[in-house]
Amino acid sequence: MASSCPAKGQLCRKCRKWNHFASVCRSVKRSSRQKKNVHVIDSDDSDSSDENGFNIASVTIQKDEVFANI
């Protein structure tokens, strides 16, 4: 009797490749998964905006993606 692999058709949560689980993934850890610090580069107390910048209201991290509300 032929048995099918339980990982067949499954997406790895570590490397985002198919047909294996993160617990057995052999991919090198991506540098983007490392903790990143955000620093203020320039601060402007005025309410007006110019062509060269924008304000970030909030930042949300979901899995491997970072979302910024502007």
Three-state secondary structure call for residue 6? coil
Q: Is the pLDDT of residue 2 over 70?
A: no
pTM here?
A: 0.38
Residue 47's pLDDT is what?
A: 56
pLDDT-derived band at 70 (thresholds 50, 70, 90) equals: confident
At residue 33, φ and ψ (nearest 5 deg) are -85, -10
Percent of the chain with pLDDT over 70: 63
